[in-house]
A and B are shown apart, each in its own frame.
Chain A
């Protein structure tokens, strides 16, 4: 029997646009048309002002490393130690992710380093956004 893989998201009506976006190679965020705030995770109302006038837009995929933890306990689909990162997107919101193409050590994981999104296809419906050190 194959080793169990990492937990994969189950899209809901509120989050469908996000996962359709990653499958199409786009990082989609939402913006409140009333107060102007960009936000994540997806929801059909603005958590800051309560407005239901919200829209979806394509983000740049640029981010910086806000912080991380290097996990040493076994988790299905991961080979410890691995870093769980929180990235600060150029558009404002923070997002949890993994950092790829980078050693999973405190020396390599420099806070505020420039990152860019990479899309990792998991199956026909799910593609995960992860981040790597920005090139150039």
Chain B
């Protein structure tokens, strides 16, 4: 087991308003979320001495403008003017889970005491995956000429293969979309809070990239979330009950030909990251009381459940049936609504929910006796990171 298990905690969490389009600059959303997380911890902004983020805009063909479409560490530093800042980073791979892991490492190394991690997401005007026009340069010369524009299509290619190979149909995915939307109604910060979804809605919705219909895809939004991480001894003295980090893992698994939907890449990336997390924490999938698994596109949950070891390969769509992923089921899943419910904010919201469940702070969606809380914070390909939070050190 990991010698540093339960030495780092998640303390406060914060949210901005989540809206469909930008009515204020993204920097303002990020600032609102960061201030919220610091206040939730009961800290002063001057206590914060570490900053980390992953600032990428996952849309194609749109400019990255700091403070408008991304919020870099530089942008946040300029806004906060932290008098005691000693450490900061923005990661280039492993998505936002990597930023949380780097902050964990910095706290363990003693180079900062209270780190804030935020994820701010922009919804650009016009087509989200805006193909590069007449010329397909670089790696896109082997994809764009065939009408390929984004990671969702790559995930759908793998999903087609998964469905066929395992003799399954997309009908069973309705359970995931409908159950997560039900969970969303317990999350007042989520974009789809107040908007229920029925099975009929799912089956009647238009196709985006077959086998994905509209409700298999998270809706692009403008918004931000943030967390405060600190050491366990400091976290115990703060306002909220802390969630203890029992272990984490990470693994990149790039396909040499790009993101063209290789099932084996999902499986190898996810299982490698999860293996480290199980070994470091000492837990197994059977010990998990509640799970958050990244769901930017619904099929990502399949790859997560299978590669992390919650069920066997080919069985995930059967695994999620019969109430298993409800709040009182055997494995309550994406209890905050997931990205399908909150809107496209990436995996920091999954990490927030994993921590809130472990510390008993999830309100009306709190899972009973949620002592071991698992998080797969990004698709288990390209950027896979996994975490386990627990309610008490062990």
Q: Is chain B a partner of chain A in the same complex? A: yes
What does the 1/0 interface line of A91-108 toward B look like (CB < 8 Å)? Answer: 001111110000000100
User: Is A9's beta carbon under 8 Å from chain B?
Assistant: yes
Name the A residues within 8 Å of B132 (CB-CB). 7
- A interface SS class: loop
Most buried by A among B149, B160, B212: B160
State how many angstroms separate the Cβ of B199 from the closest Cβ of chain A: 21
CB-CB under 8 A for A77 and B147, given A67-B161, A69-B153, A106-B210: yes
- Verify if A134 is at the interface (C-beta below 8 Å from B): no
Which B residues lie within 8 Å of A67 (CB)?
A: 157-158, 160-161, 164, 261
In the bound complex, do residue B145 and residue A7 qualify as a contact, i.e. CB atoms below 8 Å apart?
A: yes
Bitwise interface map of B from 116 to 154 toward A, beta carbon under 8 Å scored 1, else 0: 000000000001000111111111111111111100010
Bitwise, A31-73 to B at CB < 8 A (1) or not (0) is: 0000000011100000110000000000000000011111111
Bound-complex Cα distance A12 to B149 (A): 20
- Residues in A neighbouring B142, C-beta threshold 8 A: 9, 40-41, 95-96
Chain B positions 135-189 with a Cβ under 8 Å from a chain A Cβ: 135-149, 153, 156-158, 160-161, 164-165
B203-252 with Cβ < 8 A to chain A: 206-212
Residues from chain B with Cβ under 8 Å of A41 in the complex: 139, 142, 256-258
B153 lies within 8 A of A71 (CB): yes
Least distance between B337 CB and chain A CB atoms (Å): 25
Q: A7-B131, A111-B164 are in contact. Are A84 and B207 (CB under 8 A)?
A: no
Q: Do residues A39 and B256 form an inter-chain contact, with CB atoms below 8 A?
A: yes
Known: A4-B133, A5-B134, A7-B140. A71 touches B209 (CB 8 A): yes
- Tell yes or no: B325 within 8 A of A by CB: no
Residues of B within 8 A of A96 (CB): 142-143, 146, 148, 257, 260
| Bound complex: CA A120 to CA B213 (Å) | 31
CB of A78 within 8 A of CB of B207, answer: no
Collect the chain B residues with CB atoms within 8 Å of residue A118's CB: none
Minimum C-beta distance from B263 to chain A (A): 8
Interface residues of chain B, those whose CB is within 8 Å of chain A, are: 127, 131-149, 153, 156-158, 160-161, 164-165, 206-212, 256-258, 260-262
Given contacts A12-B137, A69-B261, A70-B209, could you give 4 more A-B pairs where the C-beta distance is less than 8 Å?
A7-B134, A81-B210, A94-B262, A128-B145
Q: Please give the residue numbers on chain A whose beta carbons come within 8 Å of chain B beta carbons, in ascending order.
A: 4-12, 15, 39-41, 47-48, 66-73, 75-78, 81-82, 84-86, 93-98, 106, 111, 128, 130
Contacts A/B (CB < 8 Å), 24 sampled: A7-B144, A7-B145, A8-B135, A8-B136, A9-B137, A9-B142, A9-B144, A10-B137, A11-B141, A47-B256, A66-B161, A67-B164, A67-B261, A69-B156, A71-B147, A72-B208, A72-B210, A77-B147, A84-B146, A86-B261, A94-B262, A95-B142, A96-B143, A111-B164
